[in-house]
Amino acid sequence: MKAWINQEPGLTEQDIAELEMDPRVSVRRLAACCRHRQASLRQEEARLQELARQEEELHRQGIFPVAGIDEAGRGALAGPLVVAAVMFPPGVRPAGLNDSKQLTGKQRQLLYEQIKQTAADVAVVIVDREVIDRLNILRATWQAMTEAVGKLRPRPQHCLVDGNQVPALGVDQTAIVGGDGKCLSIAAASIVAKVVRDNIMLELGRRYPQYGFARHKGYCTREHMRALKAYGPCPEHRRSFQPVNDCMTTQLTLPWDGVAP
């Protein structure tokens, strides 16, 4: 009976009502599980519908494609900045999609694969430390967002941007503060950017194990600051960020693959 119920996601209200009237306690418990599962599905559908409200309003106005843009690593002391732009076909809402910060690493990875399969297009731009230090982090972010939009095919008619407006984006845009938790395509972009950057930081963690990049992903944690003070910056640290600059006089005791910081 339990296997049959699990294989029948389309149980009608009458089906469940009959199960609830069954004299067997085990069957009535399964009926309660069906009720709970259906309620959860309705709740998730409503959440995704609200998350897609911005895109669907633009679609009703005849504006398509619509792209969401977000970044990962803007506030980190080390590693690259990663910007992602994502466009979905109308009506596509990957189940479980949410702000990347609300998801576990495993959930993000699964959704990352789902986004790549269901999106109309996905663009990723990786900005290395040297560019960040040369331009400053704000200009580097703007430049990367503009580049990501330029890589999308077809070119979006409108962009939904997490945070603030991007100068010279070249496309009509709407800035949404906290957009990664309010907008479907921005949430997707936040997941893509986060997964791509986390994988880069895992590799940097293997290259520079003293800093713990695999754990804190280059952000300013106590562990990271202790390592910075002990070893000084490695080639991936952003010299234009004050906590890194403050540690520039630390005597380095480790080789960086023959590359001086």
Neighbours of 99 (CB within 10 A): 20
Q: What is the spatial distance between Cα 127 and Cα 107, in angstroms, rounded to a whole number? A: 25
The pLDDT tens digits of the residues spanning 75-102 come to 999 999 999 999 999 999 999 999 999 9
Cβ atoms of 55 and 158 closer than 8 Å: no
| 109 HSE (CA, 13 A, CB side) | 5
Domains with residue ranges and CATH for the chain: 2-49 (no CATH), 53-203 (3.30.420.10)
User: Of 102-111, 115-124, 128-137, 245-254, which range is least confident?
Assistant: 245-254
What does pTM read for this prediction?
Answer: 0.84
| 148 HSE (CA, 13 A, CB side) | 32
- In DSSP notation, 66-102 reads EEEEEEE-TT-SBS-EEEEEEE--TT---TT---GGG
Q: Is 254 helix (H, G, I), strand (E, B) or coil?
A: coil
- In DSSP notation, 196-246 reads HHHHHHHHHHHHSGGG-HHHHTT---HHHHHHHHHH---TTB-TTSHHHHT
The pLDDT tens digits of the residues spanning 119-172 come to 999 999 999 999 999 999 999 999 999 999 999 999 999 999 999 999 999 999
